[in-house]
Amino acid sequence: MFRYIIRRLLQMVLAFFGTTLLVYWLMFAASGDPLAALAGEKPMSPSVRAALTEQFHLDQPFIVQYFYYMKGLLSFDLGNNLSNRDIADLVLSAWPYTLRLAFLAFIFVVVVGIPLGVWVAMKRGGVFDTTVLLLTLVIISIPVFVIGSTLAMIGSMYGLWVTNVGGAGTLSAYLVPAIVLGSLSLATAVRLTRGSVSENLRADYVRTAKAKGLKRLRVVGVHVLRNSLIPVITFLGIELGGLMGGAIVTEKIFNIPGIGFELAKAINLEDGPTVVTIVSLLVIVYLVMNLIVDVLYAVLDPRIRYE
Amino acid sequence: MGKHSTDQSVIEKASAPGPDDGGGHLLEVRDLFVEFRTGEGVAKVINGVSYHLDAGETLAVLGESGSGKSVTAQAIMGILDSPPGFVTGGQILYKGRDLLTASENERRAVRGKEIAMIFQDALSALNPVFTVGWQISETLRKREGLSKKDALDKAVELMDLVKIPAARERLKAYPHQFSGGMRQRVMIAMSLAQQPKVVIADEPTTALDVTVQAQIMDLLADLRRELNTAMILITHDLGVVADVADRIAVMYAGRIIEHAEVHALYKSPAHPYTLGLLNSIPRLDDKGKTLRTIPGLPPNLTRIPAGCPFNPRCRYVRDVCRTDVPPSVSLGEGRDAACHFAREVLAGTLEPTRKDPEL
């Protein structure tokens, strides 16, 4: 197990440098002249331009710029963005909003998705099962911006729920955005749980558990569920990583000043440092969640031993 | 369909109050009917099975795959997958109480505690994600109300009983960490946890190596003697039953076609199918010869042939065999056989009508 984790950590380092390099290069190639974007309509004096070029190493080749950037990132200096704001500050102020949204969405997915999946698996083939399956298919097929905009529109037309959350919104204001954000994961979680549970319900060990005289609730709730949740938890772990990385569309629709919101803003402004920094952090979150999922997998399924 | 239902009534009449029906048996299956309703039609899996078991004795139920031996056991346990399986008739009496009309709670009280089951493939029959200690002690904790520690101590005792070495150290091991034979021992220990009066062993050695098979059969025989547990041993292997069983019931196409005390059956079978089974056991002096088999296959249970279900494969077939379902004939000393010519087969005087059935 220990060796497995070490090996995974080394893989993580490679993946981290690979993705950041790629993102950095994309941003480098996409932005024409970041200083012009910064200056906007107002012409920039040559001395200011020279100073900024010097400050951001803009006259250096790509790989050197990347090197400077990594040096800063690894010494926990996230640097300043093009409007000279501390990026660490920006991230720290934005992330709590995203986390609030992410955890609410995650709880929604877990609390609704797993029980619903188990329920329909036990009623497999029935009307309820078919209805739920159809609904999940519909949800999966609709892009999130359609669901989001529709719910935002309905909410604001009839004054049913908060549609402009802003920075001061209470936790309840995040409820509808969380449902929008979680809907896709929910649909997938229901289908995954259903498939996994109904497959396990046919397993031989279920018959053994019944033959032992255990109650049905215990057979399903302990024997079947413990086996069925292995793939579901894997999925949920990676989803949580994704959710914590912010949701550009949902945050934008409901005006939540989270990470996704800031990222979208930075992309529009061609603010390379901010984009790359946020993406790098997201990569780290994602990689860590992946590692946790892999370790969890080994804990949940004793047959898997990574040696 | 109409043809079949008339056939059934013949079987019902024939095998309902059998000669063994003295009452007061520990477990008695009476005229059980089970069918599987599938997309391809209704498979009549059990067609009037009756057998009984007294305290402390071992009944071997013998038959090919698909003869309905496991399904009967599942019906007794109440763990038949339904759908597609449905019990459509008969009684299963445990201590005189019909389990088929009992409530789910009453049935559950019998399951594991009174009648326990040992399954064929222990690797898939044990839950892969729980330790064997946890699985053996589960019913002790949940049904007998033992503390976690006491239940685990009891689990160690049970594992010692089934001769698993270093039992206490292995409590925390998972099923996949055991060898096939040891896994089957775990399965046996688990079935004995609640001290059942009846153990149904459903092909307990089929998934094992031949050497290990013998060990497991010996273990089962020892346990039965020590604990005085009655046992139904389901198998398709004539070789394993001779030493262990008291009586043998041979099943074919969902019926018991012969039922006899074990030595009597080995000595002189009263049904051509049993005769074929006994003849197909390879012998040492057969070296170099082709193995003898019963030609043909068991019938498709959605289309059981008219008359005796064995008639297409039988070397002694007569006209009556193709039209009439043979009733179960009592041959004395607790012997029954469902063959029109049971007495002649038993006496060895029946002449074959063909060398090999035209198939």
B304, containing H or E segment: none
Same structural domain, A224 and A194: yes
Contact flag A213-B138 (C-beta cutoff 8 Å): no
Number of structural domains chain A divides into:
2
Q: How much is the pLDDT for A305?
A: 66
Which of A203, A207, A214 is facing B142, going by the closest CB pair? A214
Torsion of CA A89, A91, A96, A97, to 10 degrees: 110
What integer pLDDT is reported at residue A306 of this predicted model?
54
Query: How far apart are alpha carbons A250 and A140 in whole angstroms?
Result: 16
Give B259's strand partners: B249, B336
Residue A197 has pLDDT above 90, yes or no: yes
pLDDT confidence band for B23 (50 / 70 / 90): low
- Tell me: pLDDT of B296 over 50: yes
Size of interface A-B (CB pairs under 8 A): 74
Is A214–B139 a contact, with Cβ atoms under 8 angstroms apart?
yes
B84 three-class SS: coil
For B40, the token pair is 């391809």
Q: What mean pLDDT is predicted for residues B215-243?
A: 85
Whether A61 and A101 map to the same domain: the answer is: no
List Cα–Cα distances, A182 to A248, B163, B354, in angstroms: 13, 53, 73
Most confident of the following: A16-20, A25-29, A66-70, A160-164: A16-20
Query: What's residue B11's pLDDT?
Result: 38
Kindly tell me if the per-residue pLDDT of B7 is higher than 60. Answer: no
Residues A61 and A137 in one domain: no
- Residue B212: pLDDT above 50? yes
Portion 168-187 of B in contact with A at CB < 8 A: 174, 176, 187
Give alpha helix (H) positions in B255-318. 262-267, 272-279
Three-class secondary structure of residue B261 per DSSP: strand
CB-based contact A211 B176, cutoff 8 Å: no
Q: Pairing relation of β-strands B115-118 and B198-202?
A: parallel
Strand-pair partners of B232: B59, B200
Q: Which residue has the tokens 């549609």?
A: A163
Please give the pLDDT value at position B346.
Answer: 84
Q: Identify the CA nearest to B246 among candidates A77, B255, B229.
A: B229
| Secondary structure string (H, E, C) spanning chain A | CHHHHHHHHHHHHHHHHHHHHHHHHHHHHHCCCHHHHHHCCCCCCHHHHHHHHHHCCCCCCHHHHHHHHHHHHHCCCCCECCCCCEHHHHHHHHHHHHHHHHHHHHHHHHHHHHHHHHHHHHCCCCHHHHHHHHHHHHHHHCCHHHHHHHHHHHHHHHCCCCCCCCCCCCHHHHHHHHHHHHHHHHHHHHHHHHHHHHHHHCCHHHHHHHHCCCCHHHHHHHHHHHHHHHHHHHHHHHHHHHHHCCCHHHHHHCCCCCHHHHHHHHHHCCCHHHHHHHHHHHHHHHHHHHHHHHHHHHHHCCCCCCC
| Res A270: pLDDT | 75
The arithmetic mean of pLDDT across residues A134-157, rounded, is 89
Q: Which two tokens stand for residue B304?
A: 């059981």
Task: Give first-to-last CA distance, chain A, whole Å.
Answer: 7
Residue B358 pLDDT more than 60?
no
E strands, B95-197, where?
A: 97-98, 115-118
| Three-state SS at B128 | coil
Please report whether residue A264 resides in a domain.
yes
Domain membership flag for residue A88: no
Show the beta-strand stretches assigned E in chain B: 27-38, 41-53, 58-62, 85-94, 97-98, 115-118, 198-202, 230-235, 247-252, 255-261, 329-332, 335-337
Distance CA(B3)–CA(A279), nearest Å, equals: 75
- Residue of A196, A204, A227 to mutate, interface with B, max B Cβ within 10 Å: A204
A-chain residues near B121 (CB < 8 A) = 204
Task: Using a pLDDT cut of 90, give the percent of chain B over it.
Answer: 17
For the ranges A110-119, A237-246, B6-15, the one whose mean pLDDT is highest: A110-119
Q: Do B176 and A208 touch (CB under 8 A)?
A: no
Residue range A98-108: mean pLDDT, rounded = 91
Which residue in B119, B121, B129, B202 has the most chain A C-beta atoms within 10 A of its own C-beta, making it the best mutation to test that interface? Answer: B129
- Residues of chain B found within 8 Å of residue A211, distances taken between Cβ atoms: 77, 79, 111-112, 116-117, 119
Show residues of chain A in contact with B125, CB under 8 Å.
Answer: 204-205, 207-208
Chain A residues near residue B119 by CB distance under 8 angstroms: 204, 207-208, 211
pLDDT band at B19 (very low <50, low <70, confident <90, very high): very low
pLDDT above 70 covers a percentage of chain B that reads: 92
Domain end, chosen from A47, A74, A101, is at A74
Q: Is the pLDDT of residue B179 over 50?
A: yes
* Domain range for A128: 93-300
Strand partners, B151: none
What pLDDT shows up at residue A114?
A: 93
Three-state SS for B275?
Answer: helix
Within an 8 Å CB–CB cutoff, is residue B195 touching chain A? no
| Max mean pLDDT range (A274-278, B140-144, B250-254) | B250-254
Helix (H, G, I), strand (E, B) or coil at B1: coil
Q: In A, which residues are within 8 Å of B79 by CB distance?
A: 207, 210-211
Share of chain B residues as helix, strand and coil, in percent rounded to the nearest 5 = 40, 20, 40
Residue A193 has pLDDT above 90, yes or no: yes
Q: Residue B123: count other Cβ atoms within 10 Å of its Cβ.
A: 16
Superfamily of domain B2-111+229-283+290-347: P-loop containing nucleotide triphosphate hydrolases (3.40.50.300)
Contact B129 A226 (CB under 8 A): yes
Rounded to whole angstroms, how far apart are CA atoms A133 and A191? 7
Is A305 inside any structural domain?
no
Q: How high is the pLDDT of residue B9?
A: 39
State residue A138 phi and psi, 5-degree precision: -60, -45
Averaged over B109-116, what is the pLDDT? 90
Residue scoring higher pLDDT (A161 or B75): B75
Q: Is the pLDDT of residue B83 over 80?
A: no
Nearest CB neighbour to A213, from listed B119, B121, B143: B143
Kind plus residue range of the DSSP H or E element containing B302: none
Contacts of B174 in chain A (CB under 8 A): 302-303
Which is higher by pLDDT, A213 or A270?
A: A213
On whether both A125 and A244 belong to a single domain, the answer is: yes
Judge if A178 and A267 occupy the same domain.
yes
How many angstroms separate the CA atoms of B167 and B335, rounded? Answer: 44
The H or E element containing residue B327 is none
Burial A24-60 (b: 16+ CB within 10 A, else e): beebeeebeebbeebbeeeeeeeeebeebeeebeeee
Determine contact, residues B11/B325, Cβ cutoff 8 Å: yes
Residue B177 is classified by DSSP as G
- A302 CB neighbours in chain B (<8 A) are 128-129, 131, 174, 176
Polymer length in residues for chain A: 307
Is there a contact between A301 and B129 if contact means CB atoms under 8 Å apart? yes
What predicted TM-score, i.e. pTM, was given to this entire model?
Answer: 0.79
| Domain presence at residue A236 | yes
Over the stretch A251-271, which tens digit does the pLDDT of each residue have?
888 888 888 888 888 888 877
> B33 pairs with which residues across the strands?
B47, B89
Q: Is B174–A205 a contact, with Cβ atoms under 8 angstroms apart?
A: no
Cβ within 8 Å, pair A211-B139: no
- For testing the chain B interface, which of A199, A202, A207, A297 should be mutated: the one with the most B CBs within 10 Å? A207
Q: A190 with A266, same domain?
A: yes
Over 90: is that where the pLDDT of B117 sits? yes
* Both tokens assigned to A104: 């609410």
Answer whether A226 sits within 8 Å of B130, measured CB to CB: yes
**Tally of CB atoms within 10 A around A89:** 12
Between chains, do B124 and A300 touch, taking CB under 8 Å as contact? no
C-beta of residue B255 within 8 angstroms of C-beta of residue B49: yes
Contacts of B131 by beta carbon, 8 Å cutoff, 6+ apart: A302, B171, B172, B173, B174
pLDDT confidence tier of residue A277, bands split at 50, 70 and 90: confident
Looking at residue B87, the DSSP 8-state letter turns out to be: E
Give the distance, in angstroms, between the CA of residue A230 and the centroid of all CA atoms in the same chain. Answer: 20
Same domain, A229 and A141: yes
Give the pLDDT mean for A178-185: 90
Measured from the Cβ of residue B103, the count of other Cβ atoms closer than 10 Å reads 8
**Cβ neighbours of residue B325 closer than 8 Å, sequence gap 6 or more:** B7, B10, B11, B14, B307, B308, B309
Residue of chain A minimizing CA distance to B134: A223
Q: For residue B204, what are its two tokens?
A: 């307990």
Inform me whether the pLDDT recorded for A6 exceeds 70.
yes
Name the residue among A270, A275, A248, A265 with its Cα closest to residue A22.
A275
CB count within 10 Å of CB B302 equals: 14
pLDDT for B357 equals: 60
Highest mean pLDDT among A105-119, B80-94, B162-176: A105-119
Chain A nearest-CA residue for B75: A211
Same domain, A45 and A109: no
pLDDT tops 60 at residue B16? no
Q: Please check whether residues A61 and A120 belong to one and the same domain.
A: no
